[in-house]
Structure 1
């Protein structure tokens, strides 16, 4: 989901990266499993009861966005910066997630706030290193995340807090796609339009849910009009797969925006809005970028094949099932989890196939 172009940036210290693979990757996997388990419990499924799963259900959004995705994005940014101190940010995210799971919400909120302050500092350094439109937008995404975590620490557990967290992820993705549009000729209006949409998104997150939903729809339209994926979808192999992930994600982004408008107007579309955004849009971005990000951040190369389409198709189908009828919410949620688990297995298989291919060449 994070910077597809990180492999072009200077890598962080190799010893720190090895340490990150050994320590952070299993912790991230644990946070993802607990976040998904909590989501299944919230959907009414008979997940094995434990105090950890109960806390994961109660803190589902904070676990998934601030602990898991916060750690993933800040780890990528730490690699891009290449300084040891930057790796403290994903550690703080993981520590915040652990605090929530152990029933210490106040400590978790403070740890997340500390993480976002560090993350903002990292992005300031990156802007100083390369003052480009996409790095400035990435800094804005950090400030959105900081705003949401400050609200959490102040006890303001409201839709504005949740919208600020989602704005962090959505704007991060927008910044990465803005960087990629440098590879194609684009109309002069593209960048000013994006700035306007992102300003509306931030204003909506802070002040007005209806505006936030409209801005999500507008951003989906911007992606459809200007993103390079509409051209690369005609390619083959990994490039085509990534483009299909992106285009599918943009469709779910529009659905999420309409759902957000709906519940702002009093309609029962809140679950549809949250999961079209969190699963449909964000996890499509994860599936599309992971084959590029994993080699860049974790130094694990993967060999792409048609198996990658199976979890992507299951994710789309399960979301349609989940959102089509409230009676299918539990089944759809279980299949959502199955799609994520299948994607993890496909990635492991792809890494093993790459290793086997390299051994056969040597």
Structure 2
């Protein structure tokens, strides 16, 4: 009860309102802790972003277009910078966050540092060693995952990490980038394929699905290894294996079913399916033309894989993975779809008209639009994340307070219903609760009937029943049977001695338990 005598539910509501600031403060503390955790991962993402910008700058140099920064080293490190410095850092960061702890962050740190050092005038061996160490740390992450729970998806992702390590070692040994291309392709293709298998498990896969997937992974790994010793047969095997892997993904991936949805699922499905198409084109070119290390066919294979497939996959997964890594929201924005369309249409212009038809203008224009599409997506994602974070800061506490108000009201209603059930009455809705009836005034003692007989001393009550002062004498066994506890109502509370049992006219009706008992 409250001090004013009101129902206890009012006190409950007051107590809940008093506790709300504490609960809101706890909510804010948890949110700030999550953001601090995400802020500690920003340097890794910043390193990957700088590698991306440097790689795009090197692309402008290779396209013979004006570039913000020019240098002799940029064109030679363009491919490794984007594959290991940018994409490798993102993959390692996502794996480190999933594994948890501090030591897994060594992998993205080494890869990011190695990519940035490629832009400096230090001895080229130093960044190459860092890239080798980063790839080795990534392999160690997958070993740790394997000890937790082995799976076919981890086999594919671990094989991709081994290919990255092999490519970094070969580059450290002096092998040129065109000969490393199959290793770098296998790294990202197998990593992404393993992630898609994890998501495909949500649906019911056929018993033969995973063995077929593992066969495709083994064929890709065998083709990559064969390209070192037997370039022509190895490239043919790699092309056929990529086509088989694309067929598996198209058959079992959930992207085909999500294409008819809207918003983010539709955007993700479109990017996935378009990426599978570009990977199939690269496999077909390798299967038909064999090994290529320069010229237009080489340019077509490289950008079909790393722009058409890999960058499209990054666009598809960014709204899901980046919030988990940075603890910042990244809602889908229509400009993301514009960037994806621009990427694929400009890639059609570059590959089909520029490379395969040997049109230099289309090749250069398509390359410039490729860079614009990547930058547009990066700027859109950053802007959408910042706006969503600021909006969440403004409305987060208001939403939390609204939820607390709803909870307090619900708790109060449950408390009233609980008291109704305790009293034995049916719960009464709040809308039906009227003002309580005024109690009937008790008549004065001298208002009792003057003709009331003197009954004398009150006899003892039957066994099990308390004596009732002022009540008429209980019947003897000869005149009335004992009361039946199953049919007879409970005894009424004792009225004041000398008062009339009948209520005053005009007052609320007396419950059944207050009526005088009659003998049967």
Provide the TM-score with structure 1 as the length reference: 0.90
Structure 1 residues without counterparts, runs of 5 or longer: 1-11
1:234 aligns with 2:268: no
Preserved contact between residue 200 and residue 212 of structure 1 (Cα < 8 Å): yes
Find the aligned partners of 1:79 and 1:240 in 2 and give their Cα distance.
27
Q: Secondary structure at the match of 1:59?
A: helix
Deviates more, 1:274-283 or 1:103-112: 103-112
Q: Deviations over 1:321-344 (max 9, x none)?
A: 111223111111110010011101
Structure 2 residues without counterparts, runs of 5 or longer: 1-32, 227-233, 399-520
Q: CA deviation at 1:160?
A: 4.5
Greater helix share, structure number? 1
Partner of 2:60: 40
Find the aligned partners of 2:85 and 2:300 in 1 and give their Cα distance.
22
Find the aligned partners of 1:233 and 1:247 in 2 and give their Cα distance.
9
- Cα 1:16/1:263, change in 2 over 3 Å: farther
Find the aligned partners of 2:257 and 2:158 in 1 and give their Cα distance.
28
Preserved contact between residue 40 and residue 334 of structure 1 (Cα < 8 Å): yes
Provide the TM-score with structure 2 as the length reference: 0.64
1:183 aligns with 2:209: no
Partner of 2:282: 256
Find the aligned partners of 1:152 and 1:131 in 2 and give their Cα distance.
31
* Pick aligned residue for 2:40 from 9, 19, 32: 19
Find the aligned partners of 2:141 and 2:107 in 1 and give their Cα distance.
9
Find the aligned partners of 2:69 and 2:309 in 1 and give their Cα distance.
30
Preserved contact between residue 260 and residue 270 of structure 1 (Cα < 8 Å): no
Give the count of matched residue pairs.
348
Preserved contact between residue 302 and residue 353 of structure 1 (Cα < 8 Å): no
- Cα 1:238/1:158, change in 2 over 3 Å: closer
Q: Deviations over 1:72-97 (max 9, x none)?
A: 11111111111211111111112211
Q: Which runs of 4+ in 1 moved over 3 A?
A: 12-17, 265-268
Preserved contact between residue 159 and residue 221 of structure 2 (Cα < 8 Å): no
* Pick aligned residue for 1:296 from 317, 324, 328: 324
Q: Secondary structure at the match of 1:269?
A: helix
1:124 aligns with 2:152: no
Deviates more, 1:279-288 or 1:236-245: 236-245
Find the aligned partners of 1:111 and 1:124 in 2 and give their Cα distance.
20
Q: CA deviation at 1:39?
A: 1.6
Find the aligned partners of 1:35 and 1:98 in 2 and give their Cα distance.
11
Q: CA deviation at 1:15?
A: 5.7
Q: CA deviation at 1:126?
A: 1.0
Preserved contact between residue 63 and residue 367 of structure 2 (Cα < 8 Å): yes
Preserved contact between residue 55 and residue 82 of structure 2 (Cα < 8 Å): yes
- Cα 1:28/1:82, change in 2 over 3 Å: same
- Which structure's CA Rg is the greater one? 2
Q: CA deviation at 1:348?
A: 2.1
Q: Deviations over 1:82-130 (max 9, x none)?
A: 1211111111112211222124322222111111111111110111112
Find the aligned partners of 2:77 and 2:149 in 1 and give their Cα distance.
36
Q: CA deviation at 1:162?
A: 1.9
Partner of 1:29: 49
1:225 aligns with 2:251: yes
